[in-house]
């Protein structure tokens, strides 16, 4: 069995390539929970930020403000809530993945429910003339 040996020069060159590649990508620097807006704010080394509603994540919907504030970076690739036993990849969140497929489908359908109570409320609102006009709308 042949053994490939890496020289010190090859290793140094590989490290330089890695540093150059890393310098071109945004690296997560800090993460925090903003209690006023109930959003998670993720700041990157290039000055960019990614902000999303904390309670939109599966497993965080019923979390307390104190639990949400426990968010921490998990290396350079994830977010972690120790007391909630919840982990999310940053790339997944930035791609809109806030939970399992069934959770995401239920979130999408949320306002589209067709319950008898919703239908009755819609009929009652229609009998009153429908939605009120917004200020500044022409009649």
Q: What is the pLDDT of residues 75-129, one digit of tens each?
A: 999 999 999 999 999 999 999 999 988 888 887 776 566 677 777 877 887 788 7
Token pair in block for residue 11: 């290793």
pLDDT at 15: 94
Q: 34: closest CA among 17, 54, 50?
A: 54
pLDDT at 2: 65
Backbone angles phi, psi at 92, to 5 degrees: -65, -45
pLDDT at 85: 95
pLDDT value at 1 more than 70: no
pTM over 0.85? The answer is no
Residue 68: count other Cβ atoms within 10 Å of its Cβ.
Answer: 21
H or E segment to which residue 6 belongs? none
**What are the domain boundaries of the chain?**
10-98
Token pair in block for residue 14: 């590989």
Domain 10-98 belongs to what architecture?
A: 2-Layer Sandwich (3.30)
Q: What is the pLDDT of residues 4-22, one digit of tens each?
A: 888 999 999 999 998 888 7
pLDDT value at 74 more than 80: yes
Supply the DSSP string of 9-23, one letter for each residue: HHHHHHHHHHHHHHH
């Amino acid at each position: 069995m042949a053994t490939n040996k890496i020289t010190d020069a090859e290793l140094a060159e590989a490290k330089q390539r890695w540093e150059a590649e890393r310098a071109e990508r945004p690296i997560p620097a800090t993460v925090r929970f903003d209690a006023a807006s109930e959003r998670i704010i993720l700041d990157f080394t290039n000055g960019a930020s990614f902000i999303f509603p904390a309670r939109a994540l599966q497993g965080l919907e019923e979390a307390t403000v104190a639990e949400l504030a426990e968010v921490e970076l998990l290396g350079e690739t994830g977010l972690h809530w120790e007391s909630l036993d919840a982990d999310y990849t940053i790339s997944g969140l930035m791609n809109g993945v806030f939970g399992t497929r069934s959770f995401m489908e239920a979130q999408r359908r949320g306002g589209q429910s067709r319950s008898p109570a919703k239908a009755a409320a819609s009929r009652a609102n229609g009998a009153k003339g429908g939605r009120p006009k917004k200020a500044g709308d022409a009649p």
